[in-house]
C-alpha cells in the first residue's frame, strides 16, 4: 500500500581419550553427553535428516520455527537543533544534539503512522521491537515514536552504537566544514573521509557488522520469546539519514554509483522493507515506484525490488547488476 509517510528532502567439540582393552584410542564424543549417554537426536528442519553428528547446527534447526518479522521499518530522527542551526555543531558534541519541538512532533507523528500501518493488517498479536542509535536525537525520536504504542505492544529495545551518525570529526569548524563538503562532492560522497572522521565507506563497514547481528537476531528469534512468537513482529530501526541509506545499500547490495544517487529521508520520515510472498523483504510491497524513484532508485533497482517481492531466501537474481551479467554488457 502506498503511504504518505514516506518523506524525502532533496563449538568447540570436546575430544576424550579412553582405554579400550590395553590400547588408548581417541574419538569425538559429539553424540554423547559427559556421562556417555546418547544425546537427543537433532532434526534438520529443512529435510528431516538426522544431525546427530553436527550439534553446532542446533541453533539453525531451532531457527526454522521462528517466523521472520513482517517488516523492517527504517526511521530517520526528527528535526534536530543541528538541522536548524549548523553552528550548534561547533559547541555541542554531535552525540548530544537534541530534537527541536518540531522534531518531537515529527517523531510522534511518525509513531502514529507506524501504528496505523500495522493496525491496518487486521491482526491482534502484533508487536514492535526497536533498534536505536545512541545519539540524543535518535533516543528522543525513539521516545516520541513510543508514545504511539501501548506498553504491551513493545517487545523490546536495543541501543546499537553501530547505527550512529557518520563521524564528522568532533567539534566542527563551520568554515572548514563548508570547504570539506565541497571537496566531498568533488571526490565522491561514498569514499570521501572527513579529517578525524569517517567516510560513508567506513559507515558501510560497521553497518555490515550490524546487518549480520540483525540477521542472527531474526534467525534465532532473539526478540520473540518461545511461546510468544508471532508472524506479526515489526522491527523499527531509528537512525540517521546517511546511515540508513548505507544500511539499504548493504542489504540490497547496491553499487557505489547507485548509493550516490540516493536522496535523504525527511526528518521523521520512514522507509518500509516488507515481506513479499516468497519470504524476502522488498521496498515495493509498501511503497510505490514513484516514491522509490524520489528516493533515488533507478529502473534497474526497481526491477530488482520487483524480483524481491516474490523471491525466496537463498535465491539469487542473476539479472541483477551486482551478481549477474549486466557488468559485462559491453561484451555483447
Q: How far apart are CA 133 and CA 226, in angstroms?
A: 27
Average pLDDT of 214-235? 90
Residue from 212, 302, 198, 206 nearest 254 by CA: 302
Measured between alpha carbons, how far is 332 from 321 in angstroms, rounded to an integer?
15
**Cα–Cα distance between 197 and 166 in angstroms, integer?**
8
Higher pLDDT residue, 10 or 190? 190
Q: Are strands 71-76 and 270-275 parallel, antiparallel or unpaired?
A: antiparallel
Per-residue pLDDT averaged across 281-307, rounded? 97
pLDDT score for 43: 38
240 among known catalytic residues: no
From 81, 106, 108, 165, active-site residue: 165
This model's pTM is above 0.75: yes
pLDDT > 50? residue 23: no
pLDDT over 80 (residue 29): no
- What is the percent of the chain where pLDDT is above 70? 78
Q: Minimal CA–CA distance to 9: which of 74, 79, 72? A: 79
**Choice between 43 and 215, residue whose per-residue pLDDT is larger:** 215
Which of 134-143, 225-234, 268-277 has the lowest average pLDDT?
Answer: 225-234
d(CA 264, CA 9) in angstroms, rounded, equals 6
- The angle subtended at Cα 307 by Cα 303 and Cα 313, nearest 5°, is 145
Strand partners, 75: 238, 270
d(CA 194, CA 100) in angstroms, rounded, equals 26
Measure the CA–CA gap between 306 and 308, rounded to whole angstroms. 5
Of 2-11, 162-171, 249-258, 277-286, which gets the smallest average pLDDT? 2-11
Average pLDDT, the chain: 84
For residues 232 and 71, the answer to whether their CB atoms sit within 8 Å is no
Question: Which pLDDT belongs to residue 314?
Answer: 87
User: Which secondary structure element, helix H or strand E, spans residue 137, and what is its range?
Assistant: helix 136-146
pLDDT surpassing 80 at residue 51: no
pLDDT, greater one: 171 or 330: 171
**Does residue 77 carry a catalytic annotation?**
yes
Which pLDDT tens digit goes with each residue over 140-166? 999 999 999 999 999 999 999 999 999
Q: How confident is the model at residue 323 (pLDDT cuts 50, 70, 90)?
A: low
Picking from 42-46, 87-91, 234-238, 303-307, which range would have the lowest pLDDT averaged per residue? Answer: 42-46
Displacement of CA 324 from its chain's centroid (Å): 24
Burial class (CB in 10 A: 0-12, 13-18, 19+), 11: exposed
The arithmetic mean of pLDDT across residues 66-94, rounded, is 96
DSSP per-residue string spanning 280-312: -EETTTTS-HHHHHHHT--HHHHHHHHHHHHPP
Q: Among 121-130, 195-204, 226-235, 254-263, which stretch is predicted with the lowest mean pLDDT?
A: 226-235
Work out the average pLDDT over 45-56: 45
Bin 119: left if φ > 0, else alpha if -120 < ψ < 50, else beta. Answer: alpha
Rounded distance between C-alpha atoms, residue 116 and residue 222, angstroms: 25
CA distance 165 to 239: 7
Q: Which whole number is the average pLDDT over 130-134?
A: 98
Asked whether the predicted pLDDT for residue 60 surpasses 50, the reply is no
Distance CA 292, CA 265 (A): 11
Mean pLDDT of 7-33: 41
Q: What distance in Å separates the CA atoms of residue 147 and residue 153, rounded to the nearest whole number?
A: 11
> Averaged over 76-96, what is the pLDDT?
97
Q: Which helix (H) or strand (E) holds 138?
A: helix 136-146
Q: List the alpha helices (DSSP H) in 1-133.
A: 58-63, 81-84, 101-119
Other Cβ atoms closer than 10 A to 200: 23
Most confident of 1-5, 7-11, 69-73: 69-73
Least confident of 21-35, 53-67, 243-257, 270-284: 21-35
What is the C-alpha separation between 161 and 169, in angstroms, rounded?
Answer: 17
> Of 77, 240, 286, 287, which one is the catalytic site residue?
77
Q: Return the pLDDT at 12.
A: 34
Instruction: Tell me the per-residue pLDDT of 187-208, one tens digit each, with 9 for 90 and over.
Output: 999 999 999 999 999 999 999 9
Query: Cell 547496491 identifies what position?
Result: 254
CA nearest to 269, candidates 38, 87, 110: 110
Amino acid at each position: 500500500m502506498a503511504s504518505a509517510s514516506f518523506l524525502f528532502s532533496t563449538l568447540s567439540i570436546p575430544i576424550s581419550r579412553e582405554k579400550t582393552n590395553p590400547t588408548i584410542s581417541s574419538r569425538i564424543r559429539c553424540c554423547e553427553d559427559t556421562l556417555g549417554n546418547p544425546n537427543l537426536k537433532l532434526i534438520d528442519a529443512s529435510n528431516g535428516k538426522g544431525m546427530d553428528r553436527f550439534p553446532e547446527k542446533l541453533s539453525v534447526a531451532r531457527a526454522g520455527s521462528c517466523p521472520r518479522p513482517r517488516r523492517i521499518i527504517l526511521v530517520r530522527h526528527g528535526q534536530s537543533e543541528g538541522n536548524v542551526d549548523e553552528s550548534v555543531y561547533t559547541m555541542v558534541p554531535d552525540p548530544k544534539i537534541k530534537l527541536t519541538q518540531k522534531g518531537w512532533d515529527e517523531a510522534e507523528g511518525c509513531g502514529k503512522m507506524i501504528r496505523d500501518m500495522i493496525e491496518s493488517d487486521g491482526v491482534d498479536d502484533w508487536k514492535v521491537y526497536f533498534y536505536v542509535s545512541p545519539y540524543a536525537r535518535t533516543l528522543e525520536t525513539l521516545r516520541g515514536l513510543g508514545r504511539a504504542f501501548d506498553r504491551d505492544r513493545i517487545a523490546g529495545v536495543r541501543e546499537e552504537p553501530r547505527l550512529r551518525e557518520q563521524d564528522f570529526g568532533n567539534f566542527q569548524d563551520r568554515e572548514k566544514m563548508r570547504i570539506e563538503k565541497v571537496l566531498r562532492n568533488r571526490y565522491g560522497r561514498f569514499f570521501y573521509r572527513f579529517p578525524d572522521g569517517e567516510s560513508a565507506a567506513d559507515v558501510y563497514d560497521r553497518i555490515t557488522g550490524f546487518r549480520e547481528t540483525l540477521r542472527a537476531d531474526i534467525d534465532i528469534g532473539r526478540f520473540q520469546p518461545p511461546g510468544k512468537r508471532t508472524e506479526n513482529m515489526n522491527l523499527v530501526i531509528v537512525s540517521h539519514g546517511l546511515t540508513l541509506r548505507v544500511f539499504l545499500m548493504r542489504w540490497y547490495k547496491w553499487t557505489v554509483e547507485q548509493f550516490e544517487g540516493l536522496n535523504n529521508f525527511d526528518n521523521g520520515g520512514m522507509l518500509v522493507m516488507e515481506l513479499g510472498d516468497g519470504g524476502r523483504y522488498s521496498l515495493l510491497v509498501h511503497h510505490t515506484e514513484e516514491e522509490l524513484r524520489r528516493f533515488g532508485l533507478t529502473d534497474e533497482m526497481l526491477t530488482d525490488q520487483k524480483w524481491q517481492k516474490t523471491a525466496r531466501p537463498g535465491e539469487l537474481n542473476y539479472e541483477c547488476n551486482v551478481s549477474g551479467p549486466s557488468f559485462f554488457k559491453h561484451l555483447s
